[in-house]
Amino acid sequence: MQTTSGPPPAPKHTCPESLATVTIRPGDRDYDAVRHTYTRLGSPAAVIRVRDHQDIADTLAHARTTGVPVTARSGGHGISSRSTNDQGMVIDLSRLNTVEILDSRSGLVRVEAGARWGDVAAALAPHGLGLSSGDTGDVGVGGLATAGGIGLMSRLHGLTIDHMRAAELVLADGSLIRTDTEHSPDLFWAVRGAGTNFGVATAFEFQAQPVREVIVAMTVYDAADTAAFLTRWAAAVEAAPRLAHQFPDARRRSRRESSCGPGDDRVRRHRRDAGPRGSRPPIVGRAGPAQPRNRHSLPPAAARRARAAACAATADRVAPGLLDHITPPAAESMAALMKAAGMVQLRSVGAAVNDTPPTAMASSHRTQNFSLMAATVPALRDGLDEHWERLQPHLNGLYLSFETRTGRRQLQDAFPGPVLDRLVSLKAQYDPDHVFDNNFALPSVPFPH
């Protein structure tokens, strides 16, 4: 992850008059509260806290005229650290944060991009509704919903974008477009997986699901024989009912598993009876009901800022990959990786995620059962890179939202051949001047196959 510190440079350009009251610049009282993100210390020349799509259009027009770099920011949790910059403009969507229940019986909801998933869960819970999203309440809607959304309800309800019914975007020319399966369906296909390349999303419509009581459990296993344990754990996950989502944090000798699923007797029985076969009994096991919104409680703003500064100052490389299955050789490679990396996290995906056909949207990886992520600090980076290369033969694609590198290889792993080619051609149609090239930029012409 990138880090920048020191006093911010003086702004080199002025903003249009229409944006004067919503622009925060170096030296302004609020500047320190808006310049950084969760993963990066930034020094933008201007942060525009937009009120509506017109402010976004004005900012884009100004950026295009002056050639100043511009980036959108919703929750500021992007792992690739691209939602702030140095001496550029940031379109801050945090004011566009309304969550609206359009139809409580069908579960149709409209969520503005600047809301955070904790707000969404809190607004839906009183209606007995929930939306599959990530595991962290202060992640923003805009970044996650333009990429995928792997979370605690994925095995039961799929990815966040699998429930998207429409998206509203400001395109590079400043026009506001509402896209769905009947209106500019090719753009709607692209937004669900590669959205940041096509515009600034202002709002989404989602089909929420009935979700009432949720059981959350934490189990710690002795995993001294890590590879054997991972193989057994993977088999147990693949055999588990899709109601249960396993989400382990791997440590060198023990594994902590957080599970989450609806408060359903089948899940309770599964948790009681179906630990990884052949493993020793858990060292710690706790389970209990939780309201869906409690999985997404939002920390106070000051705590969030402090955490962001700590993360930006220490975090370095994050590497993600997807796996169809965890074979014994893959488990051996992962066990070695765990000794080298700062943190390794494995999530179960599969089940409902794989019900969506791979052609339905740009997010087309629909055979995998596991998502692996390794993170490290600078001193351990070489070790991570070396072990990650050894894992490559076992990986099948990646989820861009967990990636810090933004090059050709990442695009090719995220979007298999024909998907990437189609995205490149849509980029030429919707963003021919490459205004939205800030994160995982699609090229102008397809990569040679």
Ligand X SMILES: Cc1cc2nc3c(=O)[nH]c(=O)nc-3n(C[C@H](O)[C@H](O)[C@H](O)COP(=O)(O)OP(=O)(O)OC[C@H]3O[C@@H](n4cnc5c(N)ncnc54)[C@H](O)[C@@H]3O)c2cc1C
**C-beta separation of 141 from 151 below 8 A:** no
Nearer to ligand X, 197 or 231 (CB): 197
Question: How many whole angstroms separate alpha carbon 150 and alpha carbon 144?
Answer: 9
Region from 70-78, 281-289, 324-332, 412-420 binding ligand X, contact rule CB under 6 A: 70-78
Q: Is 193 in the site for ligand X (CB under 6 A)?
A: no
**C-beta separation of 403 from 320 below 8 A:** yes
Among 50, 93, 190, 230, binds ligand X (CB under 6 A): 93
Q: Is 75 in the site for ligand X (CB under 6 A)?
A: yes
| Closest among 38, 10, 36, 4 to 25, alpha carbons compared | 10
Burial string for 57-68 (b: 16+ CB within 10 Å, else e) reads bbbbebbeeeeb
Amino acid at the residue 201: A
Q: Is 368 in the site for ligand X (CB under 6 A)?
A: no
Other CB atoms within a 10 A radius of the CB of residue 386 amount to 12
Q: Is 318 in the site for ligand X (CB under 6 A)?
A: no
Among 8, 26, 42, 78, binds ligand X (CB under 6 A): 78
Work out how close the CB of 201 gets to ligand X at its nearest, in angstroms, rounded to a whole number.
4
Q: Is 37 exposed, middle or buried (0-12, 13-18, 19+ CB in 10 A)?
A: buried
Q: Which residues contact 182 (CB under 8 A, 6 or more apart)?
A: none
- Count interface residues toward ligand X (CB under 6 A): 36
Among 47, 60, 72, 372, binds ligand X (CB under 6 A): 72
Question: How many whole angstroms separate alpha carbon 180 and alpha carbon 172?
Answer: 19
Work out how close the CB of 284 gets to ligand X at its nearest, in angstroms, rounded to a whole number.
23
Region from 25-33, 75-83, 316-324, 385-393 binding ligand X, contact rule CB under 6 A: 75-83
Q: Is 337 in the site for ligand X (CB under 6 A)?
A: no
Region from 68-76, 281-289, 315-323, 329-337 binding ligand X, contact rule CB under 6 A: 68-76
Nearer to ligand X, 88 or 282 (CB): 88
Amino acid at the residue 378: P
Q: Which residues contact 442 (CB under 8 A, 6 or more apart)?
A: 194, 197, 411, 420, 423, 424, 427
Q: Is 73 in the site for ligand X (CB under 6 A)?
A: yes
Restricting to residues 138-157, which ones interact with ligand X according to CB under 6 A? 139-140, 142-144, 146-151
Q: Is 57 in the site for ligand X (CB under 6 A)?
A: no
Among 83, 85, 132, 369, binds ligand X (CB under 6 A): 83
Nearer to ligand X, 155 or 232 (CB): 155
3-state secondary structure of 255: strand
Q: Is 37 in the site for ligand X (CB under 6 A)?
A: yes
Sketch the per residue contact string, 96 through 115, with ligand X: x for CB under 6 A, - otherwise: -----------------x--
Among 24, 121, 156, 201, binds ligand X (CB under 6 A): 201
Work out how close the CB of 96 gets to ligand X at its nearest, in angstroms, rounded to a whole number.
8
Kindly write down the DSSP assignment for every residue of 324-344, as one continuous string.
S---HHHHHHHHHHHHHSSEE
Nearer to ligand X, 135 or 332 (CB): 135
Burial string for 394-425 (b: 16+ CB within 10 Å, else e) reads bbbbbbbbbbbebeeebbbbbbeeebbebbbe
- Give the chain's length: 449
3-state secondary structure of 222: strand
Other CB atoms within a 10 A radius of the CB of residue 261 amount to 25
Question: How many whole angstroms separate alpha carbon 4 and alpha carbon 26?
Answer: 15
Nearer to ligand X, 141 or 335 (CB): 141
Q: Which residues contribute to the site for ligand X (CB under 6 A)?
A: 37-38, 71-79, 82-83, 93, 113, 134-136, 139-140, 142-144, 146-151, 195-196, 200-201, 401, 438-439
